[in-house]
């Protein structure tokens, strides 16, 4: 299995669509069909969804694998069919009209159902194949193989791309059909119109060095953590918002010396000396490869949050999504049995 992992967790660039599903290219037509202006409804909706993602006619056309005039003609044709203006135009893309926003909602449902139907039919004929795109909050990246490896073993025709993204970005990407699923927090902030499968409980540790801040302690309180020289994830990360709330609850105002959207940057500064950071217990355990790094339990209070799989709340689900949910439930049961 080859998994592409993007370590960048800040503002996302465009996420490439799977090579064997819609888009790029989503249409499965004989060459020239769309160029002649005969794009069917599904294709016009795909154009509209791409325009919603890219906010630019040229980039949307490139994402769909067509020329800009072809995409513009498809959108205008859809407007003619529906008898309303969908896109506000000037010298460039401005936005969607209220009618356009409503059509986008319907378009996402129709396109999602169309993709699910094609996947179902293909799976009946040749088994489950395809390209599964998964968005993961940075603190859960190390857990991904526990889900993807057994899924790949059951379905060798699957390929995966894993993106490191914030929880808010993951929800937006699922809504816009740019990824099939996400690993994120389930019980801290709203998870939108999704279904979820709880996987494990996240507890927190202070990561420091043996001679570093609080490195001689068997356990520390959140108040003590707030007094240490900290490097923390950036505020757009839900993990950071959780840590900030816990520090404030202990009477400390978060004031990190360094912020980053990369866990690797945080750990590198801890190793360099003079810094400490707060990480989930599972992640801290995977990162300690040197004897001088210390993972110290944080108590008073002991905080726990749930990480789980989130998928679109659509029925019927695509064959890939259904298989992923089944694997997640199997993994959840196994983790529960082992405590």
CA triplet 143, 178, 68: central angle to 5 degrees? 150
| Same domain, yes or no: 127 and 249 | no
| Same domain, yes or no: 155 and 232 | no
Cβ-contact 295, 205 below 8 angstroms: yes
Strands (E), the chain: 3-6, 87-89, 93-96, 129-136, 157-164, 181-185, 194-202, 204-209, 220-221, 231-233, 258-260, 277-280, 293-299, 305-312
Which structure tokens are listed for 52?
Answer: 């919603």
Residue 89 in domain: yes
pLDDT, one tens digit per residue, over 122-176 is 777 777 888 899 999 998 988 999 999 999 999 999 999 999 999 999 999 998 8
| Same domain, yes or no: 244 and 292 | yes
Residue 187 in domain: no
| Same domain, yes or no: 231 and 82 | no
| Same domain, yes or no: 94 and 140 | yes
Residue 113 in domain: yes
What's the domain count of the chain? 2
Residue 191 in domain: no
Decide: residue 98, CB within 10 A, 0-12 exposed, 13-18 middle, 19+ buried: exposed
Count the helices and strands in the chain (H runs, E runs).
11, 14
Model-level pTM greater than 0.85?
no
Residue 177 in domain: yes
Residue 75 in domain: yes
Which structure tokens are listed for 16?
Answer: 């490439």
Cβ-contact 204, 243 below 8 angstroms: yes
| Same domain, yes or no: 219 and 161 | no
**How would residue 25 be classed by pLDDT, with cut points 50, 70 and 90?**
very low
- pLDDT at residue 289 in the model: 63
Give me the CATH number covering residue 114: 1.10.10.10
Residue 221 in domain: yes
| Same domain, yes or no: 147 and 286 | no
| Same domain, yes or no: 7 and 60 | yes
| Same domain, yes or no: 33 and 177 | yes
Residue 199 in domain: no
pLDDT, one tens digit per residue, over 258-273 is 999 999 999 999 988 8
Structural domain range at position 233: 204-303
DSSP state of 303: P
Which structure tokens are listed for 86?
Answer: 């969908």
């Amino acid at each position: 299995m080859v998994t592409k992992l993007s370590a960048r967790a800040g503002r996302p660039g465009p996420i490439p669509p799977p090579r064997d599903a819609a888009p790029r290219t989503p249409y499965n037509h004989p060459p020239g069909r769309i160029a002649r202006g005969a794009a069917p409804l599904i294709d016009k909706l795909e154009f509209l969804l791409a325009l919603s993602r890219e906010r630019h006619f040229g980039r949307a056309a490139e994402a769909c694998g067509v020329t800009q005039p072809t995409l513009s003609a498809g959108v205008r044709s859809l407007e003619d069919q529906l008898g309303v203006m969908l896109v506000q135009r000037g010298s460039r893309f401005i936005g969607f009209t209220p009618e356009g926003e409503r059509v986008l909602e319907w378009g996402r449902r129709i396109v999602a159902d169309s993709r699910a139907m094609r996947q179902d039919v293909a799976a009946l004929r040749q088994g489950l194949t395809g390209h599964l795109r998964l968005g993961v909050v940075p603190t859960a990246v190390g857990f991904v193989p526990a889900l993807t490896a057994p899924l790949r073993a059951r379905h060798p025709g699957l390929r995966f791309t894993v993106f490191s993204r914030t929880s808010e970005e993951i929800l937006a990407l699922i809504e816009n059909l740019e990824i099939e699923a996400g690993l994120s927090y389930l019980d801290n902030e709203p998870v939108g119109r999704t279904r979820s499968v709880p996987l494990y409980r996240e507890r927190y540790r202070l990561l420091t060095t043996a001679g570093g801040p609080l490195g001689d302690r068997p356990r520390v309180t959140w108040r003590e953590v707030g007094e240490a020289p900290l490097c923390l994830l950036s505020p757009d990360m839900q993990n950071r918002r959780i840590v900030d709330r816990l520090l404030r609850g202990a009477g400390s105002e978060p004031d990190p010396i360094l912020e980053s959207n990369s866990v690797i940057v945080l750990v590198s500064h801890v190793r360099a000396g003079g810094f400490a950071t707060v990480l989930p217990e599972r992640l801290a355990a995977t990162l300690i490869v040197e004897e001088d790094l210390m993972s110290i339990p944080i108590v008073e209070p002991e905080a726990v949050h749930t990480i789980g799989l989130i998928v679109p709340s659509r029925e019927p689900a695509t064959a890939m999504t259904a298989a992923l949910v089944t694997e997640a439930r199997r993994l959840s049961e196994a983790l529960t049995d082992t405590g």
